[in-house]
Amino acid sequence: MIRLEGVYKNYGAIRVLEGMDLQVEEGKPLCLLGRSGCGKSTLLKLLALITRPDKGNLLIDGKGVAKLTDAEMDDMRREKVAYTFQEPLLIPYITALENVTEVTGAPKDKAVEVLTQLGLGDGLNHRPPKLSGGEKKRVDVARAILRGTPILVADEPLSNLDPETGEKVMGLLRGHADAGGILVYSSVEPSETKFAAQVVNMERK
């Protein structure tokens, strides 16, 4: 379980989160809905342990993040959280398949299976500069799925995807939640909340 208790996060003078409380449970996907700049990505980065709250506490499985050292936070991120980027970050000098196997250490056959499931069977050996935005997104999602961590945080996983591929991607992500994992994703489209068990509407401060 993830809990946020009175979390504040600023970027310089910009107040992004103010006293936010939230609880996410296993098996109940959470969607953060809101326009660009409302703080969705910041909240997701907090949940993915990429950054820390300025104030308040974030608890993962009852363990507060605020008092963790950097090394402990690194370990917790490594063990507990997989993250997909709003703009997929792929290493340009290796293939789509290698971006999964080399980065996550996942077995090749497993990686091929997931990528094929996401409709990337033909592009396995293409390097990122030759992939479309949607294809990159799917590689990024495959990478997160194959991490096999209990928490999966996805920043706008459906952007740049056609509805059919979006269904496939969300099918995999939901499968993670259905298997007892925690899924938090963000979206700007209200229609994409249909995959979630709970929705948090976020507004620009």
Binding site for other proteins (CB under 8 A): 45, 48, 50-51, 74, 77-79, 82-83, 85, 87, 89, 91, 93-94, 98, 102-106, 127, 143, 146-149
Six token digits for residue 153: 């945080």
Q: Which is nearer to other proteins, 94 or 199 (CB)?
A: 94
We find the least distance from the C-beta atom of residue 99 to other proteins, in angstroms, to be 10
- CB under 8 Å, gap of 24 or more: what pairs does 50-53 form? 50/77, 50/83, 51/9, 53/4, 53/7, 53/8, 53/9, 53/17
Of 41, 181, 160, the C-alpha closest to 139 is: 160
What gap in Å lies between CA 111 and CA 192, rounded to an integer? 26
What gap in Å lies between CA 61 and CA 73, rounded to an integer? 14
Q: Which is nearer to other proteins, 50 or 197 (CB)?
A: 50
We find the least distance from the C-beta atom of residue 121 to other proteins, in angstroms, to be 22
Q: Which is nearer to other proteins, 78 or 205 (CB)?
A: 78
We find the least distance from the C-beta atom of residue 146 to other proteins, in angstroms, to be 7
We find the least distance from the C-beta atom of residue 79 to other proteins, in angstroms, to be 8
Cβ-contact 195, 174 below 8 angstroms: yes
Q: Which is nearer to other proteins, 149 or 165 (CB)?
A: 149
Q: Which is nearer to other proteins, 91 or 189 (CB)?
A: 91
Q: Give the type of residue at 204.
A: R
Of 78, 20, 77, 15, the C-alpha closest to 51 is: 77
We find the least distance from the C-beta atom of residue 127 to other proteins, in angstroms, to be 8
